[in-house]
């Protein structure tokens, strides 16, 4: 390729970039007008169903070669910056920075939101409940290690609603100051991360002691001051604390996802592909499990998940958590939930929100 041809290609790219910039500002001016129109109106500025519709439409109409995942990431940041023009979003998340919850929060809300780390799951709920944050993000389950019980327990007492879910693919790196695997004398991480890398550790570092800490990000922070140690954490944590990668992707199961919930004060409207979460306790009597499921089975409603937790105040009594396809505004879902209610000592709709594949 001649230098003249290369210059011509770059000139054409510059022209297109200028057009993109002009279009972004035209879009921003309309967003400002939308914000003015919303002033004084009831409802949230952040609408997950609207956001999902934008992604779905653009990816469906994308002719390529720009990748679909790139379309989603680019428009995630465009929407994030646009929301900051309407009303700056403050989002609490289970911290510290560079944890997988932080990564999931950035994936959902983009870089323009104000992301505030909290020390515990109850603290995230409290920030939102007290109106010190617009939304909160907490982990709820991992595909390998199961449910996060602290999150489920919070819904028993909280009036907050689930407004969205996030699925994040989890990949663990072994990080150290030198990046030398032979120099590792101990491995530090969150217990769940250690469990997800158990086979790799037994095969590659069989005699190295494992140390539990509160988060993968804290592990990276500690390792930054200890050249004999390695952390199992995200690449974002390694970047934040200046660590080198001793080994990429050491998780035993490459199909490793964590599901996070976004909590807020209001249930979003229907997106057309939704999920509803409820919690309830049932009377202890013969055939109750069958009657508990029958309102959904008879209407052909797909149940995505059933989880049970013992009641902390009563021995041998349980709270059930149920995820089902559909929105609570759908007549068939509303009727099924009301049918279930007659068998329950307690029932709460935790929220309806766009379903993520």
pTM: 0.79
Domain residue ranges of the chain, discontinuous segments joined by +: 3-84, 90-170+257-263, 173-247, 267-354
Catalytic residues, by residue number, are 258, 260
Residue 253 above 60 pLDDT? Answer: yes
Helices and strands of the chain, counted as H and E runs: 12, 15
**What's the pLDDT tens digit per position in 20-62?**
999 999 988 888 887 777 665 555 667 777 888 888 899 989 9
The residue to which tokens 């998940």 are assigned: 305
What tokens were used for 282?
């049932």
Per-residue exposure over 232-252, b if at least 16 CB sit within 10 Å of its own CB, e if not: bbbbbbbebbebeebbeebbb
CATH architecture group of domain 267-354: 2-Layer Sandwich (3.30)
What tokens were used for 195?
């469990």
**What's the pLDDT tens digit per position in 102-139?**
999 998 998 888 999 999 999 999 999 999 999 999 99
**What's the pLDDT tens digit per position in 64-108?**
899 998 998 898 888 888 877 777 789 999 988 888 899 999 989
CATH 3.40.190.10 matches 90-170+257-263: yes
**What's the pLDDT tens digit per position in 202-239?**
999 999 999 999 889 999 999 999 999 999 999 889 98
CATH architecture group of domain 173-247: 3-Layer(aba) Sandwich (3.40)
CATH number of 3-84: 1.20.59.10
Contacts of 278 (CB under 8 A, 6+ apart): 321, 322, 324, 337, 340, 347, 348, 349, 350
Q: pLDDT tier at 152 (50, 70, 90 boundaries)?
A: confident
Write down the mean pLDDT value for the chain. 88
Gap between the terminal Cα atoms of the chain: 43
With beta carbons less than 8 A apart as the criterion, state whether 151 and 140 touch: yes
Same fold, 90-170+257-263 and 173-247: yes
């Amino acid at each position: 390729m001649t230098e003249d041809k290369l210059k011509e290609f770059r000139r054409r790219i510059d022209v297109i970039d200028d057009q993109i910039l002009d279009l972004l500002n035209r879009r921003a001016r309309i967003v400002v007008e939308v914000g003015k129109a919303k002033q004084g109106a009831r409802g949230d500025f952040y609408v997950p169903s609207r956001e999902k519709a934008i992604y779905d439409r653009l990816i469906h109409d994308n002719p390529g070669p720009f990748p679909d995942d790139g379309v989603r990431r680019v428009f995630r940041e465009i929407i994030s910056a646009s929301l900051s023009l309407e009303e700056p979003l403050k989002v609490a998340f289970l911290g510290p920075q560079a944890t997988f919850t932080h990564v999931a929060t950035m994936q959902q809300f983009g870089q323009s939101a104000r992301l505030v780390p909290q020390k515990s799951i109850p603290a995230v709920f409290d920030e939102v409940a007290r109106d010190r944050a617009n939304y909160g993000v907490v982990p709820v389950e991992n595909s390998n290690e199961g449910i996060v019980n602290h999150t489920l327990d919070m819904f028993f007492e909280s009036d907050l609603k689930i407004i969205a879910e996030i699925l994040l693919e989890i990949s663990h790196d072994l990080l150290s100051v030198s990046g030398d695997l032979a120099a590792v004398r101990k491995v530090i991480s969150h217990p769940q991360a250690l469990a997800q890398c158990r086979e790799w550790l037994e095969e590659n570092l069989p005699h190295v002691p494992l140390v539990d800490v509160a988060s993968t990000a804290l592990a990276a922070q500690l390792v930054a001051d200890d050249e004999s140690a390695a952390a199992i954490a995200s690449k974002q944590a390694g970047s934040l604390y200046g660590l080198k990668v001793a080994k990429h992707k050491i998780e035993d199961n490459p199909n490793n996802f964590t599901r996070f919930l976004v909590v807020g004060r209001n249930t979003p409207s229907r997106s057309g592909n939704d999920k509803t979460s409820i919690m309830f306790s049932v009377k202890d009597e013969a055939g109750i499990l069958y009657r508990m499921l029958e309102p959904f089975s008879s209407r052909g409603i797909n149940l995505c998940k059933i989880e049970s937790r013992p009641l902390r105040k009563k021995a041998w009594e349980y709270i059930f958590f149920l995820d089902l396809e559909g929105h609570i505004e759908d007549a068939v879902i509303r009727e099924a939930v009301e049918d279930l209610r007659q068998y329950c000592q307690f029932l709460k709709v935790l929220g309806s929100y766009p379903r993520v594949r």
